[in-house]
């Protein structure tokens, strides 16, 4: 009986070793891609839609502008990774500075990074008055309509982010991320026009926007220069709200 059990155990070990060899043979050529995160941050400044870029200090694309991004470390989610990267590289606390934040797209083109196959989870955010200081990288806001030479495939990602934001503005209150706590209807229209890249009819826009019921008058007025004082509004909710499609 003991001899039989010993033989069975040896056979079991031999079978395990064979299976391990098969597994190793099948996975020896498997090299997982590097996981990274990138961040598209939009704001409206001087009636233009602008995007936050950093200047790269190391190869590849040393000296060129790029979206803020970095590696996803073991033990952290992609959201935690992008929060860490933004804090480290540009001194931005996403939770404090961005009124709108969501995952945008996963980019997995094999040849997008000359260092090797890198998959990037890209996030989209909108902020107001983004005068940033601090961080390890030189950073600046660039008009999306006059971008410099941009590293990797980031120009395509920025364009995709703008398209997503255009879509969001047609069925949600995502524009709130581009505005202050209180604002005029003129500022709302300017934000829409900056994102859309075209002018909209003032009277028609305001009628449609107010009809959505997303904002409430504060009771205060705001004056700029020689213009007549304008009513100030605030959004009814700080959460993302969905409404029926609005055509502008």
Q: Tell me: the pLDDT tens digits for 84-126?
A: 999 999 999 999 999 999 999 999 999 999 999 999 999 999 9
Is residue 6 scored above 50 in pLDDT?
Answer: no
Instruction: Check residue 15 and give its pLDDT.
Output: 61
Contact 151, 56 (CB under 8 A): yes
Of 135, 164, 193, which residue constitutes the final position of a domain?
164
3 state SS of 117 = coil
Enumerate residues 6+ apart whose C-beta is below 8 A from 99.
126, 127, 128, 176, 177, 178, 179, 238
Percent of the chain scoring above 90 in pLDDT:
79
Contact 216, 233 (CB under 8 A): yes
Mean pLDDT (whole number) for 179-200: 97
**Both 156 and 65 in a single domain?**
yes
**Both 142 and 201 in a single domain?**
no
Instruction: Check residue 132 and give its pLDDT.
Output: 81
Whether 203 maps to a domain, the answer reads yes
State which H helix or E strand residue 40 sits in: strand 34-45
Is residue 16 scored above 90 in pLDDT?
Answer: no
**Both 62 and 133 in a single domain?**
yes
Query: CA-based angle 45:67:150, to the nearest 5?
Result: 95
Mean pLDDT (whole number) for 150-169: 98
Instruction: Check residue 13 and give its pLDDT.
Output: 47
Whether 195 maps to a domain, the answer reads yes
**Both 112 and 63 in a single domain?**
yes
3 state SS of 105 = strand
**Both 42 and 111 in a single domain?**
yes
Other C-beta atoms closer than 10 Å to the C-beta of 47 total 10
Q: How confident is the model at residue 46 (pLDDT cuts 50, 70, 90)?
A: very high
Contact 193, 47 (CB under 8 A): yes
Domain tally, the chain: 2
- Of 47, 156, 161, 53, nearest to 100 by C-alpha is 161
Query: Rounded to the nearest 10 degrees, what angle do helices 185-196 and 202-211 cross at?
Result: 110
- Mean pLDDT score across all residues of the chain: 90
Query: Is the alpha carbon torsion for 167, 39, 145, 202 positive or negative?
Result: positive
Query: Rounded to the nearest 10 degrees, what angle do helices 185-196 and 154-171 cross at?
Result: 140
Q: How confident is the model at residue 4 (pLDDT cuts 50, 70, 90)?
A: very low
Query: CA-based angle 168:170:171, to the nearest 5?
Result: 75
């Amino acid at each position: 009986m003991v001899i039989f059990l010993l033989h069975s155990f040896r056979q079991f070990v031999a079978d395990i070793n064979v299976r391990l060899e098969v597994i190793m043979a099948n996975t020896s050529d498997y090299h997982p891609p590097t996981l990274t995160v990138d961040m598209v941050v939009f704001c409206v400044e001087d009636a233009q839609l602008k995007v936050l870029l950093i200047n790269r200090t190391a190869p590849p694309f040393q000296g060129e502008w790029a979206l803020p991004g970095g590696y996803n470390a073991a033990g952290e989610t992609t959201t935690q990774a992008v929060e860490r990267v933004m804090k480290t590289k540009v001194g931005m606390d996403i939770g404090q500075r961005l009124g709108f934040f969501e995952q945008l797209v996963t980019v997995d083109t094999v040849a997008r990074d000359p260092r090797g196959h890198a998959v990037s989870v890209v996030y989209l955010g909108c902020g107001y008055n983004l005068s940033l200081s601090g961080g390890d990288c030189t950073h600046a806001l660039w008009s999306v309509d006059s971008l410099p030479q941009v590293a990797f495939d980031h120009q395509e990602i920025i364009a995709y982010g703008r398209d997503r934001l255009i879509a969001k503005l047609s069925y949600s209150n995502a524009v709130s991320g581009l505005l202050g706590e209180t604002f005029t209807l003129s500022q709302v229209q300017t934000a829409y026009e900056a994102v859309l890249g075209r002018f909209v009819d003032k009277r028609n826009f305001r009628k449609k926007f107010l009809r959505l019921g997303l904002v409430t008058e504060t009771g205060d007025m705001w004056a700029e220069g020689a213009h007549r004082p304008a009513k100030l509004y605030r959004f009814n909710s700080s959460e993302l709200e969905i409404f029926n499609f609005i055509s502008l």
